[in-house]
Structure 1
Amino acid sequence: MSRRKPGFGKQLADLHRWNGWIVLLLAVTGLLLPWDVVRGWLDGHFRNPVKQLHIILGVLSAVILFLYIPLMKKHLKQIKKRTKQKGNLGFMVILLVGWLLSGIILWQIRRFPPQWANGAIIAHDLLTWIGVPYIIFHSLTRLKWMKKPERRSIKSSQAEDVIPTRPNHEIAAHSNVSYTERSPWINRRQFLKWSVGAALTVSVAPSFFRWMTTSFGGTITNVTGTTKDIADDANLMLPNPTPLPDSVNVIGGGAKGYFRVYSVTPLPTFDSKTWKFSIDGLVDIPSAWNWESFIKMARTVQVSDFHCVTGWSVYKNTWEGIPLSVMLKQAGLKPSAKFVKFYSGDGVYTDTLTLEQADMEDVLVAVLHDGKPIHRDYGGPVRLIVPKMYAYKSVKWLNRIELIDKDHIGYWEERGYDTDAWVKT
């Protein structure tokens, strides 16, 4: 006995239901990944599986979209005269296609130039900020209790088809049917829809504004999600380094774009009275500096781009600091030294470079960004800069360099990131 093929209506309903659940899970996993509080909780090898789940859900969403394509012509014919439904369908298709295309670029980030990834993450975020509240509003306002029509003021079931053609008082006088005045200008369903919309606007608008200022404006976002000016630094590092003329004048540079502040550990703070920097391990001359002696070291200026593996970029940064190759040369390397290990002042974050990578002329131990001390939220007072690699190799809050003979698996590499983080050029 052969099974009957599901009807058109059931196929549409099934696709709509599956798409709803997939989009819900996409929204949950997508919002968890950049959320600082959750990033800390996901630490311990959970973040990468959540990211992989998000990618799998995105692929399933694409499958649902492709399954819908053969049904689209008939569906459009069915809703030809339903303006609201056509508008909703068009918006959802644009939303899903936009998510899919930008998501593919972010998923395969190493195959695309940084400019593509930077545009993709802005598009992906913008679609999320617009799409998720819309989907929530659309879902809530289509619940049965929201769609239930107003109770008729005519109580008799026989009177439901009666169209009053006489004044209300005449109908009441000549009929057993009770009649009340017409509904007010806004009914219950409209009131609930407006209330849901207002609640979503109030809850989403402040975060959306912060995202807009972070992506397109001149503020940064800290771990608590509030905005503050870059000059408001938590570190107490005195005196400030005296910038070189090229750094002050920003020759060929001046950051274009805005940093997104990610941290899975509490942001550390530093005081020049207690801060120390050291280079040790397999070196001939181990050295240690306090803040005053460190900022007296000879520095150079370079202009380079900064690329995060999550997709965003900041172009033409002017960094000032000590070339790593110079520091290693001054320390003197023992023959057994094969790798350079970097330690972060948060006590958690570490990473490594090979000697060949560390010897690249643009690898810098930086103390100034665009002529100013590096902000704590950007990895200051001192951070590593490796322009040709994604930024997780540029260790923030750098305070120790160690020469070692065996490779070390860094913090992010333990959690699924590639050891060689080359940016596609």
Structure 2
Amino acid sequence: MSKRKPGFGKQLAELHRWNGWIVLILAITGLLLSWETVRGWLSGHFRNPVKQLHIILGILSGVLIFLYLPLMKRHLKQIRQRPKQKGNLSFVMVLLIGWLLSGIVLWQIRKFPPEWANGALIVHDLLTWAGVPYIIYHSVTRIKWMKKPERRAIKTTDAIDDPITQAPSVAAHTKVPYSEPTPWINRRQFLRWSLGAALTVAIAPSFFRWLTTATGGTISTAPGGMKDVSDAANGMLPNPTPLPDSVNVVGGGAKGYFRVYTVTPLPTFDSKTWSFTINGLVDKPATWNWEQFLALSRTVQVSDFHCVTGWSVYKNTWEGIPLSALLKQAGLKSNAKFVKFYSGDGVYTDTLTLEQANMDDVMVAVLHDGKPIHRDYGGPVRLIVPKMYAYKSVKWLDRIELIDKDHIGYWEERGYDTDAWVNT
């Protein structure tokens, strides 16, 4: 005997329930991945599993949309006289489909041009800013204790005998409904408005800050999104004297905004103690202090900067020392095969092959758009590898080592690809 197929109403209820749980966990995992306060906590081997869970749930959300489509026509017919429900359904479908499509682009980022990823990230963020508060509001205002009808007092007219016939009055047999005067706002409305106001106060400042810059990270309003570096904040004196092309900001300056992503405590630097070293399998190992490092010959280039999370900053004017020049000056031993980079935070490392390291645009940079690089963005010195995603461009660079075997970098240990080429 075959099982009876669930009814239309039960199917809708099941899809709604599963969608609710999936969206809830998507919101939590998305927050964990993007919230700077918890990025450090996830910096170990937890980050990649959380990311994979987020992707799997996004795919399952798409499956639920697919399962709902055959029911959609009947559902719309059922609620055709209910404009609020139709509006809610339309908004939720836009959210889910928008999240799904933009999420696919971000998930398969290497198969799309950077412009696509940049747009997808903005759409994904915008839908999150609009969708998560709405879903919280929608969910809380529909829990059982808010949906109970208002209690109304019932007053029964007292039985009074007719003074003439001594018979019970008709009023004695009639129950007249009685209620207190209706207030201008009931409990449910008050709670809904209060919740809406609380969400607005909590979220609006961050949302408008994001909207102003079309990004969701910690950024500044300076050109290119770089914070200005004052002598006090920099701690690295003297400031580099920029070359003429860097002063003129070739290309007109950076287009876009940097997001600040850090998974380790921001290191501090002082020119009195800072040093830069190149050693390992080289003929002439060397160490420079800050003033000696600034005396090295520098060049200027214009290149794009792409983050594997989806955002890009275009037409950056970088000034620094070509990595190939540093390697040539050091002299490489015959068994040197890879170039290992060390970050001043004492944690972050990565590698390039010799062929990659000798590309013309790979640079050890000290200036961005004619200004010192702020610590929040990897200064005072950082690696720039324009043709690869930015996790290869090691921040706070203070040491280069030539090695004979490949090294698994910080992000590669956590699931990122060693092959980090950008699809341009």
Structures share a fold, TM > 0.5?
A: yes
Distance in 1 between the 2:217 and 2:54 partners?
Answer: 30
SS in 1 for 2:300: strand
Aligned residues: 406
1:103-129 CA distances to partner (integer Å, 9 max, x unpaired)? 000000000000000000111011001
Amino acid of the residue matched to residue 424 of structure 1? N
SS in 2 for 1:305: strand
The question of 1:37 aligning with 2:32 is answered no
SS in 2 for 1:33: helix
Percent of pairs identical after alignment? 81
1:305-358 CA distances to partner (integer Å, 9 max, x unpaired)? 000000000000000000000000010000010000000000000000000000
Amino acid of the residue matched to residue 148 of structure 2? K
Amino acid of the residue matched to residue 49 of structure 1? P
Distance in 2 between the 1:66 and 1:198 partners?
Answer: 35
Distance in 2 between the 1:19 and 1:317 partners?
Answer: 42
Q: CA RMSD in A?
A: 2.1
Moved more, 35-44 or 66-75: 35-44
Alignment match, 1:350:
349
Contact 2:210–2:216 (CA<8 Å) still a contact in 1? no
Report how far residue 192 of structure 1 moved.
0.7
Distance in 2 between the 1:83 and 1:250 partners?
Answer: 55
TM-score by length of 1: 0.92
Report how far residue 420 of structure 1 moved.
1.4
Amino acid of the residue matched to residue 209 of structure 2? R
Report how far residue 218 of structure 1 moved.
12
- The change in CA–CA distance for 1:319 and 1:177 in structure 2 (over 3 A counts) is same
- The change in CA–CA distance for 1:301 and 1:325 in structure 2 (over 3 A counts) is same
Distance in 1 between the 2:296 and 2:26 partners?
Answer: 49
Amino acid of the residue matched to residue 71 of structure 1? L
Report how far residue 180 of structure 1 moved.
4.8
The question of 1:60 aligning with 2:60 is answered yes
Distance in 1 between the 2:156 and 2:266 partners?
Answer: 69
SS in 1 for 2:16: helix
SS in 1 for 2:251: coil
Report how far residue 304 of structure 1 moved.
0.3
The question of 1:403 aligning with 2:390 is answered no
Moved more, 267-276 or 206-215: 206-215
1:182-227 CA distances to partner (integer Å, 9 max, x unpaired)? 2111111111100111111111122223323453699717xxxxx9
Gaps of 5+ in 2: 158-170
Alignment match, 1:244:
243
SS in 2 for 1:278: strand
Moved more, 85-94 or 231-240: 231-240
- The change in CA–CA distance for 1:253 and 1:332 in structure 2 (over 3 A counts) is farther
- The change in CA–CA distance for 1:156 and 1:128 in structure 2 (over 3 A counts) is farther
Contact 1:321–1:364 (CA<8 Å) still a contact in 2? yes
Alignment match, 2:79:
79
SS in 2 for 1:220: coil
SS in 2 for 1:252: helix
Distance in 1 between the 2:172 and 2:122 partners?
Answer: 66
Instruction: Please list, as runs of the form range in 1=range in 2, the aligned pairs for 1:249-398 lying within 5 A after superposition.
Output: 249-398=248-397
Contact 1:255–1:314 (CA<8 Å) still a contact in 2? yes
Report how far residue 52 of structure 1 moved.
0.4
- The change in CA–CA distance for 1:354 and 1:228 in structure 2 (over 3 A counts) is closer
Alignment match, 1:161:
none
SS in 2 for 1:388: coil
Amino acid of the residue matched to residue 154 of structure 1? I
Distance in 2 between the 1:66 and 1:357 partners?
Answer: 44
Distance in 2 between the 1:156 and 1:407 partners?
Answer: 89
Alignment match, 1:164:
none
Distance in 2 between the 1:262 and 1:214 partners?
Answer: 16
Report how far residue 39 of structure 1 moved.
1.6
TM-score by length of 2: 0.92
SS in 2 for 1:340: strand
- The change in CA–CA distance for 1:85 and 1:218 in structure 2 (over 3 A counts) is closer
Alignment match, 2:167:
none
Distance in 2 between the 1:310 and 1:228 partners?
Answer: 18
SS in 2 for 1:2: coil
Distance in 1 between the 2:43 and 2:393 partners?
Answer: 19
- The change in CA–CA distance for 1:214 and 1:45 in structure 2 (over 3 A counts) is farther
- The change in CA–CA distance for 1:6 and 1:351 in structure 2 (over 3 A counts) is same
Contact 2:281–2:333 (CA<8 Å) still a contact in 1? yes
Contact 2:218–2:259 (CA<8 Å) still a contact in 1? no
Distance in 2 between the 1:392 and 1:305 partners?
Answer: 14
Gaps of 5+ in 1: 158-171, 222-226
Instruction: Please list, as runs of the form range in 1=range in 2, the aligned pairs for 1:218-233 lying within 5 A after superposition.
Output: 220=219, 230-231=228-229
Distance in 2 between the 1:7 and 1:99 partners?
Answer: 29
Amino acid of the residue matched to residue 251 of structure 1? V
Distance in 2 between the 1:5 and 1:331 partners?
Answer: 75
Alignment match, 2:163:
none
- The change in CA–CA distance for 1:277 and 1:155 in structure 2 (over 3 A counts) is farther
